[in-house]
Structure 1
Amino acid sequence: MNFWMRRLRAALPWLLVAVLSSGTVLLVLLPAAWITPVFTKASGGHVNLVDPAGSLWHGSATLMLAAGSDTSAATLLPGRIEWHTAFWPLFTGRVRMTMLQSEAMPDPITVDATGRGSTVSQGTIAVPASLLSGLGAPFNTLDLQGDVRLAWSDWRSFGKQSFGQLTVTLTDASSRVSLVKPLGSYRVVVQAEGDSSTIDLSTLKGPLTLNGHGVLGGAATSFNGTASAAPEQRDNLAGLLNLLGRPSGPDTVTLTFAH
């Protein structure tokens, strides 16, 4: 063994330490912006983290939600969403993050992702009613106001398939096109079942009754339901009912959508 080989053999352990140390430092210093595009891509643009600060391990961002496919109609939530990322699961190819939104989310949630899919633990969050305008007509015309809360079960995604339940509760809703305030309180339940989902609309209380059922899928989307007015609000709600659908009976219109 010549002189240079002996020197190289003696220095090799130190080189390995230097490489590992540099890699660890780079890993620790990964900026928060590194993770934000992952959420946009995984959610199809519905969940976006903007104005990130901090690092991959402990950072924060503003949460921007888009209800429909038009991301230009996304809604910024007040406050910041903060996260902590576990270090050791990364060595098994898993990203595990604990997230909490400071003003709208009462309890933290866990995001667990691998190359095969991801799971978001159950949780709830309060969102502005303006988020519903992103769904397009008739929501953008109605300009609904009220308290909106999203609640979901463990939500699992594998490629384009999703499994879980999302419940949207709109309490004491009102609209700029109606003088009746409030119109009522409503619940929408979306059940994701792989390539397709079902949607059920029901009324909790109020003079405007909304009910319906639909199917959301890649090939076709359809919804059928009814809207009706309480007798004592018949005249006041006539204009709103005409805006929602076609007359199908006394104080009742049909709600239909197909794509």
Structure 2
Amino acid sequence: MSMLSAFKRSGQGLSRGFESTSRWLDSTLEVARWENMLQAGRRWGWWGGALGAIAGVVLFAPASWLAQVVDRASGGRVLLAEAEGTVWTGSAVAVLTGGPGSRDARALPGRLGWQWRTQGLGLRLTLTQDCCLPAPMTLDLKPGWKRVGLQLGSAAPSGMPVGQWPAAWLSGLGAPWNTLQLNGQLQLHAQGLRMEWVQGRLLVDGSAQIVLRDVASRVTTLDHLGTYRLSLVGQAQSQVALDLRTQEGALQLSGSGQIGPTGLRFRGEATASDADRGALNNLLNIIGRRVGDRSVISIG
């Protein structure tokens, strides 16, 4: 009986030992699981914090960052001064300059406003400016496989210019514009203008016209030089054809050329009638190379 009692007591002791060991193992596993959950939570917390910080930087990036991008992309010739807001919604004063080191600069009146919004799988940039954009101008940016498309649009009525700027603004670019000191109006008309970069090649579809209307210059005694139209038409093989014509005026301008992979090439001439040649002589000397009564314009 004593042996049986001892065996029972021994069995009960082993049972209690197993139960104690089992509880210890469960407790240890629970602690391990809890620590793993804490570590995972901390990792997700770090990732969440990092993603939140990145999203905050992207969404609230200051407008000055966009101004720096425009400055570098234009070689310092287009500035967004006094930029306010964010990269996505903001405004600035549009300034033309002659580039780094130049003392020439000319600002447009008022402020240029911009707003980026998603448009399908791309982005739409809307530009507004009281002085120079009769209606909001839009630029649709559409990325694709090894290509990026850019399309110009406007809410302006048909036949109205997309934009119109004082010709005096060009004097900010330096020579020869600062010498010519033009007055008048620079207008942009566009019909379905679309540009696309495909594997490093620029393709242009549609057409645009740049009109210099009611031009005058301080280097001549004439009050009015004329109105001139430069047409740009997209062609095959990454070419844009250029055509310059005089619509009316004492100074006669004509020429043609193209913009292609090798750059800009243009050949033209400026002439004046016998009655106006004396008043336009200095201007003809500035515009191009004098060949008799003509001034030859050659670029590229």
Normalised-by-shorter TM-score class: 0.7 to 0.9
Deviates more, 1:237-246 or 1:123-132: 237-246
1-side partners of 2:210 and 2:99: how far apart?
Answer: 18
For 1:208, which of 243, 251, 265 is the aligned residue?
251
Which residue of structure 2 aligns with residue 147 of structure 1?
185
Query: What is the deviation of 1:125?
Result: 2.2
Query: What is the deviation of 1:218?
Result: 5.6
What letter matches 1:256 in structure 2?
I
Using the size of structure 2 for normalisation, the TM-score is: 0.66
Using the size of structure 1 for normalisation, the TM-score is: 0.75
Query: What is the deviation of 1:33?
Result: 2.1
**Aligned-residue CA RMSD (Å):** 3.6
- In structure 1, the gaps of 5 or more residues are none
Which residue of structure 2 aligns with residue 56 of structure 1?
87
1-side partners of 2:139 and 2:109: how far apart?
Answer: 21
1-side partners of 2:269 and 2:217: how far apart?
Answer: 18
- In structure 2, the gaps of 5 or more residues are 1-28, 155-161
2-side partners of 1:88 and 1:18: how far apart?
Answer: 28
CA offsets 1:94-143 (integer angstroms, 9 cap, x no match)? 44322212321112222333484351413522223234443744x44332
Query: What is the deviation of 1:42?
Result: 4.7
* 1:214 counterpart SS class: strand
1-side partners of 2:53 and 2:215: how far apart?
Answer: 56
Which residues in structure 2 correspond to 1:78-117 (within 5 Å)? 78-86=109-117, 94-113=122-141, 114=143, 116-117=147-148
1-side partners of 2:229 and 2:151: how far apart?
Answer: 22
For 2:67, which of 8, 28, 36 is the aligned residue?
36
2-side partners of 1:107 and 1:236: how far apart?
Answer: 39
Query: What is the deviation of 1:52?
Result: 1.4
Q: Does the 8 A contact of 1:82 with 1:102 survive in 2?
A: no
What letter matches 1:246 in structure 2?
R
2-side partners of 1:101 and 1:35: how far apart?
Answer: 17
Which residues in structure 2 correspond to 1:1-259 (within 5 Å)? 1=29, 2=32, 3-8=34-39, 21-42=52-73, 47-65=78-96, 72=102, 73=104, 75-86=106-117, 94-113=122-141, 114=143, 116-123=147-154, 124-133=162-171, 134=173, 136-137=175-176, 139-153=177-191, 154-158=193-197, 159=200, 161=202, 163=204, 165-191=207-233, 196-217=239-260, 219=262, 221-241=264-284, 243-244=286-287, 245-247=289-291, 252-259=293-300
1-side partners of 2:100 and 2:204: how far apart?
Answer: 23
Q: Higher Cα Rg: structure 1 or 2?
A: 2
1-side partners of 2:119 and 2:286: how far apart?
Answer: 55
Moved >6 Å (runs of 4+): 10-16, 68-71
Q: Does the 8 A contact of 1:222 with 1:256 survive in 2?
A: no
Q: Does the 8 A contact of 2:106 with 2:170 survive in 1?
A: no
Q: Does the 8 A contact of 2:89 with 2:114 survive in 1?
A: yes
Number of residue equivalences: 251
2-side partners of 1:200 and 1:213: how far apart?
Answer: 4
Closer, same or farther in 2 for the Cα pair 1:28/1:218, shift >3 Å? closer
CA offsets 1:204-240 (integer angstroms, 9 cap, x no match)? 1112221111234564644333333245434433454
